[in-house]
Amino acid sequence: MLLILLTSVVFIEVVNGQAMCRPNSPRSECGYYGINQYECEGRGCCWTPTEGQPWCYYQSTAPNSYRVHTISATAFGLRMSLEAEPSSSSEFGELLTPLGVDITMESQSRLHVNIYHLDHTRWEIPSNISSSGNVPSEPPTNPLYKYTTAKEGEFFYFAVSRASDDEVLFNTSSEDQPLEFADQFIAIATTLPGTESLYGLGERKAPLMLQRGRTYTIWNFDTSTPPDVNLYGSHPFYLDLRQTGKAHGVYLRNSNGMDVTYGDKYLTYRVIGGILDFYFFLGPTPEAVIQQYQEVIGRPHMPPYWALGFHQCRYGYPNVEALSDVVANYSSNKIPLDTMWTDIDYMDGYRDFTLDPNNFAMSKMTQFVEGLHNRSMQYVVITDPGIKIDHGYKPYDTGISKGVFVKDKNGNMFTGKVWPGAVVFPDFFNPETAQYWSDQISNFYHSLLKFDGLWIDMNEISNFCNGECSSLSKSDVDDDQLQYDPNNPPYKINNQGSNTGLNIKTLDMDAVHHGGLLEYNTHNLFGLMESIATCNALETIQGKRCLVISRSTFPGSGSHTGHWTGDNHASFDDLYYSIPEMLSFQMFGIPLVGSDICGFIGDTNEELCSRWMELGAFYPFSRNHNNKDARSQEPYQWPSVAAISRKVLSLRYSLLPYYYTLFYKASRAVTDIPSATVTRPLFFEFPNDATTHSIDRQFMVGSGLLISPVLQQGATSVDAYFPKGCRWYDLYTGKLLAVTGGATMTLDTPIDHIPVHVRGGSVIPGKDGAMTTAESRQTNTKLLVALDGDGRASGDLYIDDGESIKPTQWSFITFKVGGGHLTSEITDKAGDPMTVPPLDTVRVLGINGHPSKAYYNGETIQGFTFNTTDHVLLLTNINADLSSSFKITWE
C-alpha cells in the first residue's frame, strides 16, 4: 500500500507550464541501476517502477513549448518561425526563442528538416568535414514523401509520411514529448507504430536490432568493448523497417553528445548542443535507404585490391626478427597472407614516426619491408594522434612552431597522456594541420620506412588522464569567456551506461580548437578529421589509393577509411557480436570493416580460433590481431587451425573479384539497382520476409552468398534460415537445397566447415585461391552460375589495376544467363578494355534436363562435365576473352 501511495505521487502535475512527472511520456534516466525511491525523490526526480523503462527519471516540461509564428513558402518547401510559449520551461535551461524551421525537398527520396535558433548562430558541422549533400537546383517531381506541419498560431509539430500509402514515418505531434530547445539541451520525439524494426544508432557491441526500453548514447569513448554502451564512433542514423517490407532512414546531422531512447511509444532524442538537422531517406528498400544516406555523407572509399587479402598483427611482437618469423611460418604452412602489421612496439619510446633503434632498427626494417614487397606483400604500421612533448623531437617541435596543437581554455597547449607519456594533440580544424600531418607521414615514409598503409588508433581522442594532465590549467570554466559550462552540462548523457563525465578518458570539454571551437561540440569529429588528413596524405605521397583503418568514426568516415571494431575479447560472445557490428557499419557507410579475428583481449583456444577464422574469412576487412598479454594466436599455432585457415582463406581469395566488384558498386553506384553495401543483413535482400528482420547470426555477401557460421562453443550443427522466394545451393557441392518458402534447416558443421550457400539467380565471379592477392589476380577467371527457378541468373565483374586513385583503364562487365546460354558484355569502361587473364571455368548449378555439349561463340567447348545427380554443369578450358563480348551456350 505504501508503494502504491508513493508511486501515485508522480501523477500530480504542476500547472502553468512548469515541469512535472509524466510516467507515460519518454523518460530520461535520473538515477542509476539499483537506486531506491528515497534517493530518487531526494534528487527531485520522479519514481514510477515500470518494466523496460527507467524507474527514476527527470520531470519533463509542459506540453507544446513552441507555437508557429510565421510560415512562408520557398522554392523547395517552406520556412517557419517559432516562438516559445511564455509559460514553457525546461529542466535543463531556458528555452531559446525564436526558432527557425526549414523544410527542404532535396530529391525525390530525401527530405531535409532543419531546426535552429534564429537570433544566434549555433554550432553546426562544417560541410567540408562531414558532407551535407548536394544543394538541389530544382524541386523534385513526384517525391516519395509528404510532410505536414502545424499552421500559424498552432503548437509546432512536423510529420513525414510515405506518399504511396500515407504511412507515417516520423511524427513530432504528441503533447507528451514537446520540442525543447535550450542552450545545452535539445529534445524532440517521434511516435512509433509499435510494429517497426529499428537498426543503427552506433557504435556499440549489441544485437543488430535495437531493443525497446534502451537508451542509445552517442559519444566517442575508448573502452574495452563492454556490451550495450557507447564505443569509439558516433553514428546518429537509424534505419526503420516496417512490416510492409518498406524501409526508411533518419539521420540527425549533429556531432554533440546525445541519448536516443527507444521507448514503447516514442523514439526520443536528447542532445546537448548544436541544432536539429534531420534528413529523411524514403528507400523504399533497405539497400536504397543506405545509398540515399551515402548521397549525403559521401560514397565509401574504394580500397586497393590488396586490402581485401588476409592481414596479421599483434600488439607485442618484440622485434623485426619476430615479424620475419611470422611471415615465414605463414609461408611454410601455406596459409595465405597479404599484409603484415605492427602495433606500437616498433616505435622509439612510443613516439609517432620513429623506429626503435634496437629492436626495429632501420636497416633491418628496410630489408624486411623490401622482402615483403618483393613477394607482392604489404606492410602497415600504427600511429596515434598524441605527439610526445619532447624538445628535439621533430614532430613536436614543428607542431609547436606552426601552432597546430589543441589548446586549453587559457591558450596553452592542452596536455594529455598516452603511451609515450605527456603529449599534445593535432588540431585538425586548423587549416595548417593537414599539411603538418602530411609532412610527418612523408618524412617517415621517405626517410625511414616504405610502409603501404596506416592504422590510426586512440582517436576518440583517448587520454589516460580525465581531462587536462598538466597543472598549467584547471578544468573549471572562466565564466567571463563562456556563457555556459561545457564540462558540466545540465543534462548528463548516459555515457558508458552510468552518466560518466564527458571528459573521462579524453579532453576537457573547454579545450579549444582553431577558430575558438570547443571540444564540447567537436569531440566526435576527431577520428573523421584525422582519417581525411591521413588518407589525403598517403595518396599524395604514394600516388595510389590509400589504406587507412581507423578506430573512431563518424558519418562520412567511410569515404576515407575502413574500421576495425576495437578491443574485442577472445570469447564466443564476441564472435557473435562481430556480425551485428559488421552489418551496422555497412549501414553507416563504412563497408571495409572487421573484428580482430580470434579476439584481442584474453587467451583464445583452438576451437574458438577455428570458428573465428571461418567467420573472419568473410569479413570485408580480415585481420588476426591480439594483445601482448594473451597467448599467440597466429593460425599456424595449431595444426587443425592451420588446415582450416588454408581452406577458408583459399575460398576467400577465390571470391575476391566478387568482393572487389561489390566495393566498386558501393563506391560508385554504377547500376540502376541501388548498391551501397558489401555484406548485408538478410532483411536487406528479403524485406518482405518478417523472419529475416531479427536475424543477426547469418549474413549475406552481396545479394548472392549466404553465410551461416557456428557461433556457439561445442556446436557441431547450426540452425540456418533460408528466406522464401528463391532457390539455395550448397557452395561446396552445388546441390540444390530441398527448401520451399522460408525454412530453418539444421546443418552439420564439423569443426572444419562453415556453411555457405548461393542464391539462385546469381552469377559469382572468382579466381583461383592463392597465397597473395597479387598472385590470385594473375590466375584465370571463373564464374559460378546458380540458376533460379526460371533458369535465369545475372551478375557483374569490375576490373581495374587494383590501386590507381582514378583509374584511366577499367571495365565493368555484365553477365546474363537464360534459355541455356550465358552472355558477357562490357557495359561500362574507361580507356581500352582491360587485358586480363581469360575466363577459364564456368560452373552452372540447377540445370534442368541433360545437356551434352556446350559452345563458346559457336566453337565447341572440350572441357564438358555434367553431374546428372546434382544437375551441375562444369565447363573448363574455355579461354574466353573478357575484353570483348561473348556467348556461351549449352544444349
State the catalytic residues. 457, 460, 567
Q: Are 423 and 467 in contact (CB under 8 A)?
A: no
Check residue 134 and report its DSSP letter.
Answer: P
Instruction: Give strand pairing partners of 100.
Output: 81, 116
Q: How many C-beta atoms lie closer than 10 Å to residue 41's C-beta?
A: 16
Structural contact between residues 81 and 70, judged by C-beta atoms closer than 8 angstroms: yes
Tell me the C-alpha distance between 81 and 71, whole Å.
7
- What beta strand segments (E) does 492-534 contain? 512-513, 517-518
Rounded Cα gap, residues 238 and 293, in angstroms: 10
Which regions of 318-452 does DSSP assign to beta strands (E)? 339-342, 378-383, 387-388, 416-418, 421-424
Tally the C-alpha atoms within 13 A of residue 80's C-alpha that lie toward its C-beta: 25
Of 32, 25, 18, which Cα lies nearest the Cα of 494?
A: 32
In this structure, the chain runs to a length of 891
Cα–Cα distance for residue pair 626/596, rounded to 1 Å: 7
**C-alpha to C-alpha distance for 40 and 360, rounded to whole angstroms:** 57
Is the bond preceding 23 in cis, omega lying within 30 degrees of 0? Answer: no
SS (H, E, C) 751-793: CCCCCEEEECCEEEEECCCCCCHHHHHCCCEEEEEECCCCCCE
CA distance 114 to 102: 5
State the virtual CA torsion across 88, 92, 93, 98 in degrees, nearest 10.
-60
Rounded CA separation 495/217 (Å) = 6
The whole-angstrom separation of Cα 522 and Cα 863 is 62
414: nearest Cα among 510, 479, 481, 487: 510
Looking at residue 220, its amino acid is N
Distance CA 811, CA 178 (A): 54
CA 118 to mean position of chain CA atoms: 34
Q: Minimal CA–CA distance to 477: which of 560, 409, 427?
A: 409
Contact 650, 666 (CB under 8 A): no
From first CA to last CA, the distance across the chain in angstroms is 83
